[in-house]
Structure 1
Amino acid sequence: MVLLLSGFALILYFALWEKWEERQTATIESVRYDAFGVTMPSGYAIHGIDVSSYQGVIHWPSVKKMISGDLRMGFVFMKATEGLNDTDKRFHTNWEKAKAAGMIRGAYHFFLATKSGKQQALQFIKQVELKKGDLPPVIDIEKLYGVKPVLMRQRVKEFLETIEAYYRVRPIIYTYADFYERHLGDDFKKYPLWVAHYFQPDKPRVQRDWHFWQHSEDGSIDGIRHKVDCNVFNGDSVKFKQLLMH
């Protein structure tokens, strides 16, 4: 009887959850903005966003269709995992629906310097299946959490090497400009860089080549109720296509 009631409760839960999702999707579809809400850096042809469960339910067709002037969002990075066990609660839904809407997608892992780099990589691998046309995997490293920089770098290297061996592509490092300069530097120059640096009009202030620039965290995007991080790609469509998974 207990098992029967538990099964019924589970079925009811998923039915209610599905109805809630449908209701939320219908509501989010009506979210529209006159423009992106931030000043877009000039001279960049390819723009994109990054999201996590913080943005809630997203109506991806609206994201894909939004255009302001001659600008539109061409790609999205989304949070997949964190630490050793956590998976973003909206990752798998976002992953599939963004692809269905025609968005070029990428996934990132929020790295905890207090944990094993290899084990964190395995958590990402467990949750993320990359396909042809996806962006390379990303490590998001922002804080030391009290860990000595030398140990942090060792664990980051473990993560990157495990990821590269599995997906057969060089991962992207995401971090703030100051964190990169102070704690990563030359040891990681061979990896593509996605750098966060705000209040800079034309490019991030970082002393190395970079691929992506997160220039604002205050974007307004159709189909998304909350503010969104905005990014640009440092290159043309040919260079962008060369970066994608083959």
Structure 2
Amino acid sequence: MPPPVKKTTIKAKTPVKRKPAAKNKKAAGIPVQWKIAGAGLLLILLSPFYYGYILRSASATWRWILDIGQDTNYRTYKSFNIRIPSGYTVHGIDVSSYQGKINWQKVKAMNEDGVHISFAFIKATEGVLSMDPYFQRNWREAPKAGIICGAYHFFLPQKSGVWQARFFLQTVKVEKGDLPMVVDVERLYGTTPAKMREQLLSFIKHITSKTGVKPIIYTNLSFYADYLQGYFDDYPLWIAHYYQPQLRVGSNTNWQFWQNSDKARINGINMKVDFNVFKGDSTEFSRLLIP
């Protein structure tokens, strides 16, 4: 049996009182981070790039203010869900199978502050074999609703222009009061610009010889400027240029139609639609129609 353990009494220590921190009467210095930030800001302010940025921003803002002042009527039409440029009285749309089955009576009845659909360009064919599956229905039903129509062909420059024109004419039967036929050319598809223009000219000449009416050339602004300008000035143009108060082309450009939006909402159509304006008034529009 082990001997009894001797108990040792431990005396509790008197708690040591903490002395309050001495007050620093000296003002605190500026943190290092602030000094670095201040130096960086000073370098920016002294930089010529900073002033160049300020001047460019101010210039852009001023141009925006001037544009708004000049185009006070370039406003949003709620029912169409787009901004429509001012100064035009004849408006229309263009459609293809993408828009599906269209209720043309509802399209015709739509009106906001005098803006309504007067005409429609309808896709008919593409290349030498493809016909739009909704063309025949649209070509039949739109005129019944009182909408003036024109048919368009999507042009493939790697295919024969004459063959494409023949296919287009076999599919579309134009009548008095229709809009001229349209050729839609937007891409080179691997061909050279010269080859594209050669086939396009063959297409145009064949259509003109068979109908007696020059077709309208549809394209976008950049494609026109890069590949068509100066080559087809005798033909009426339909140019795509979106979300702008003005179509920015030369005053001598022979444009008749301007596709100014691709996001219009039209009653009777479930998908977004391209929206267009005609350059002239209703009298000039009538003169453009097939006699």
State the TM bucket, normalised to the shorter chain: 0.7 to 0.9
User: Which residue does 2:265 correspond to in 1?
Assistant: 220
What is aligned with 1:200?
244
CA contact (8 A) 2:261 2:276 kept: yes
1:168 to 209, 212, 227: 212
**Aligned mates of 1:216, 1:185 — CA distance in 2:** 22
Deviations 1:154-206 (A, max 9, x none): 000000000011111011000001101110111100000000001211x2122
Contact 1:181 1:206 in 2 (8 A): no
| One-letter amino acid of the structure 2 residue matched with residue 69 of structure 1 | D
Per-residue CA shift, 1:50-108, capped at 9, x if unaligned? 00000000000000111012110100001000000110000000000001111000000
Between the aligned partners of 1:63 and 1:34, the Cα distance in structure 2 is 15
1:85 aligns with 2:129: yes
Counterparts of residues 69-218 of structure 1 (less than 5 Å): 69-201=113-245, 203-207=246-250, 208-218=253-263
Contact 2:235 2:254 in 1 (8 A): no
1:39 matched to 2:83: yes
Q: Which amino acid aligns with 2:195?
A: L
Runs of 4+ aligned residues of structure 1 deviating over 4 Å after TM superposition are none
SS in 2 for 1:77: strand
CA contact (8 A) 1:173 1:193 kept: yes
Query: In structure 1, how many angstroms separate the alpha carbons of the residues matched to 2:179 and 2:114?
Result: 23
Amino acid at match of 1:227: K
Task: Look up the match of 1:9.
Answer: none
Q: Percent identity?
A: 50
**Deviation, structure 1 residue 34:** 5.8
The answer as to whether partners of 1:133 and 1:245 remain within 8 angstroms in 2 is yes
Task: State the distance in 2 between where 1:181 and 1:121 align.
Answer: 24
Letter in 1 for 2:91: H
What secondary structure sits across from 1:183 in the alignment?
helix
Task: Tell me the SS of whatever aligns to 1:133.
Answer: coil
* CA distance in 1 between partners of 2:143 and 2:173 (Å): 13
Structure 2 unmatched runs, 5+: 1-76
Correspondence 1:244 to 2:289: yes
Structure 1 position 47, deviation (Å) = 0.3
Provide the C-alpha distance between the structure 2 equivalents of 1:81 and 1:243, rounded to a whole number of angstroms. Answer: 22
TM-score, reference length from structure 1: 0.85
| 276, 282, 289: which one aligns with 1:231 | 276
Task: Select the structure with the greater relative contact order (CA < 8 A; seq sep ≥ 6).
Answer: 1
